[in-house]
Structure 1
Amino acid sequence: MTFSLLGRCARTGQIGAAGATSDIGVGARIQHIAAGVGAVLTQHRTDPRLGPRGVALLRSGCGAAETVAALVASTPHEGWRQLAALDARGRTAHHHGARVKAERADAHGRDCVAIGNILSSTAVPAAMVRAFEADPDAPLGDRLVAALRAGEEAGGEHGPVISAVLELHGEHDFALADLRVDRAADPIGELAGLWRDYAPKIDEFVLRATDPDQARGGAAGSVTLARHAR
């Protein structure tokens, strides 16, 4: 019922996730990301507790494969779980529990991994990976949106999706972008529009957090405006 992808930009070190589902609130459950550390997806009969646990394992020095193996070993309900992990070096791993419903599939690429369940076709994750890899110099958010669109165009899941998410982390301990669409007729299209509008503002939002005097309307900006007003 969900198709999603974790991706990393080798040039900037940014890490992000994008996903969509036919249920509400996908962005509140599946993706768990830490800047400079890695990311985890937890879906199907989702246990959100596995996300922070996986991030903690990555932070402790575990690679993607070790992290997924430890998560599987730690839950008595692993048969219901679908998991993926991406570490800071771009290594990936996944797990499909035996009770994850078909069609279920995965695909791994350079600095990315895609997984899905209750899909219309097992080709969906591979299409997502191809789209993500198509332009490695593009901004990571653009590549994540492209992957999500490609998954939808490859058939998506059995039913119409109604929610979508894009989350992106850089060098700071807060998200560069955390965009969510819920209960929408075209959530992926709406998410793409949100990203298009939000992306040009990211640097300014970071500046407001890290150096507010230099942000628009900050102390330095106010002095400049005052001088022009004389």
Structure 2
Amino acid sequence: MTFSIAGRCAKSGAFGVAITTSSIAVGARCPHARARVGAVATQNVTDPNLGPLLLDLMEKGLSAADAIAAVKKDRPFIDYRQLTAVDSQGRSATWSGKNILGTHGVSEQRDCVAAGNLLKHASLPKTMTDAFAANADQHLAERLLRSLEAGLDSGGEEGPVHSAALIVYHEQAFPLVSLRVDWDDENPIRVLRRLWEDYKPQMGAYLQRAVDPTQAPSYGVPGDP
């Protein structure tokens, strides 16, 4: 049903998630990140409450593993959840309950963690974290997207995916990157790639307009001098 990667850029300190699934609007429920805190994905039979809870615990100083342990303790229906987290130190952790759907797997590496369910093969998350590590010179959003593409190229899910999302948080409370494909019949990851390529050259301008509009470039819209 879903595969994802959560990651941290050790150089910049940015956090982000790339995710895709067969269901509609995965970006509305599953990826979560917070500047200077960490990144989280909540998937399988998703409880969106768990993302902010995990980030809150990591913001208080818990490691990714300790945050997941605290969230899942005595929680109803936790065996339906698949969780991933990477914390401010680059430590990663996962949880996959006994009711995870189909073939599933996880891969925990330094600065990144990937997981999936209803997969073509259980080694797919390792392919994704290897791709993340191999592209350390790229922007975090690019690394995450390449990892997602590697997962699709290596087999993806048992069925077609229909939605995808990419988020990155850096120094601000709002996302530096927040791109979503809520539904596409053919290849939402390819559409997400086009969105990223269009957004990438404008990313700095949008950030500058928020931080200091007096130093921002023109808006480039009709009527703007």
1:87 and 2:87 correspond: yes
Structure 2: stretches of 5+ with no match in the other structure: 220-224
1:206 corresponds in structure 2 to: 207
SS at match of 2:146: helix
SS at match of 2:32: strand
Alpha carbon RMSD of aligned pairs, Å? 1.2
Structure 1: stretches of 5+ with no match in the other structure: 219-224, 226-230
* Corresponding residue pairs, total: 219
Question: Where does 1:64-83 land on structure 2 (aligned, <5 Å)?
Answer: 64-83=64-83
Offset of 1:74 from its aligned partner?
Answer: 4.8
Contact in 2 for aligned 1:128/1:151 (Cα 8 Å) = yes
Contact in 1 for aligned 2:7/2:111 (Cα 8 Å) = yes
Question: Where does 1:5-24 land on structure 2 (aligned, <5 Å)?
Answer: 5-24=5-24
d(CA) in 1 for partners of 2:209 and 2:75?
41
Contact in 1 for aligned 2:124/2:155 (Cα 8 Å) = yes
Identity %: 45
Deviations 1:177-197 (Å, cap 9, x if unpaired)? 110012211100110111111
User: Which structure has the larger Rg?
Assistant: 1
Offset of 1:110 from its aligned partner?
Answer: 2.4
Offset of 1:208 from its aligned partner?
Answer: 0.2
2:104 corresponds in structure 1 to: 104
Offset of 1:217 from its aligned partner?
Answer: 3.4
d(CA) in 2 for partners of 1:105 and 1:33?
22
d(CA) in 2 for partners of 1:27 and 1:56?
20
Q: Which runs of 4+ in 1 moved over 2 A?
A: none
Offset of 1:65 from its aligned partner?
Answer: 0.5
1:126 corresponds in structure 2 to: 126
By percentage of residues, which structure has more helix?
A: 1
Length-normalised TM-score, structure 1: 0.93
Q: Quick one: which amino acid aligns to residue 203 of structure 2?
A: I
SS at match of 2:47: coil
